[in-house]
Amino acid sequence: MTTLAVQLVVLLLLSILIGMWATRFPYPAPWLRRFLSPKLRWPERQIRGWLQNGRFHPGFLGFFNRDPHRVPPPEAGLVAPADGLITSAEVRDGVRYLVIALTFWDMHVQRSPAAGRVVTVEPSGDQLMDGEGRDFSFLREKHCPVQTRIVIDTEEFGRLAVRLITSIAARRIEVWPEEGSMIERGQRLGRILLGSTVVLEMPEALPVCAVVGQRVCAGETLVTAGATP
């Protein structure tokens, strides 16, 4: 009798769990989320739905807003300004544009590639125009690009810039250092709230050690080897 009762309880619990899963299909049920990787826990389609209705899952927001401690490497060189995948390193007029694509599951706090002084913080796109046309591939791919460009003067590497780029769907960008302030290598620069692209502008002469297709971590991964030769 005891065995039968236990079996009935187990079957009842399984029925409840399957019912919870079925009512939320194709998205995971709450009880299942904790056992899944972030990509499976919060599928892209579901996140895009939250972007439209503004009703984000609290667990996803907590995960998205994480800000782990980062330690720059002891080797000389620029560090990546963002977590993500390097998708391009095109050169124009002596400037290399290292493009880092972020997913919904990447950490979204950006960091300074080097120590220096913040010269300007330049927002653009307030009226749904990027101000530069669509000749840059990283702007062509955006719908109504909105960006903030942080220009940094450094002793070792010359003038750098970090662009935080988002779109009309998620156009909130936070920048924390003020113009004229001194910043350290790996220091937090800001955050793109659900944005997806960060671009590091650097002199073409810098010896790049990161490659297209490589995943990088903000403030930790070297993208150049040393200063200008």
Query: Is the pLDDT assigned to residue 222 strictly greater than 90?
Result: yes
Q: What is the pLDDT of residues 74-131, one digit of tens each?
A: 999 999 999 999 998 989 889 999 999 998 899 999 999 999 999 999 887 654 444 4
SS3 146: strand
Say if 111 falls within a structural domain: yes
The answer as to whether 171 is a domain residue is yes
Domain identity same for 117 and 177: yes
- Specify if 228 maps to a domain: no
Q: Which domain holds residue 158?
A: 84-216
Backbone angles phi, psi at 150, to 5 degrees: -105, 115
Q: pLDDT tens digit string along 101-112?
A: 998 899 999 999
In terms of Cβ atoms closer than 10 Å to its own Cβ (0-12, 13-18, 19+), residue 38 is middle
Please give the structure tokens belonging to residue 45: 């389609």
CATH of the domain at 97: 2.70.70
Measure the CA angle with vertex 207, ends 188 and 180; round to 5°.
35
Closest CA to 200 of 174, 228, 227, 161: 161
Residues taking part in catalysis: 196
**With 0-12 CB in 10 A as exposed, 13-18 as middle and 19+ as buried, what is 160?**
buried
104 and 192 share one domain? yes
Q: Are 6 and 105 part of one and the same domain?
A: no
Provide the domain count of the chain. Answer: 2
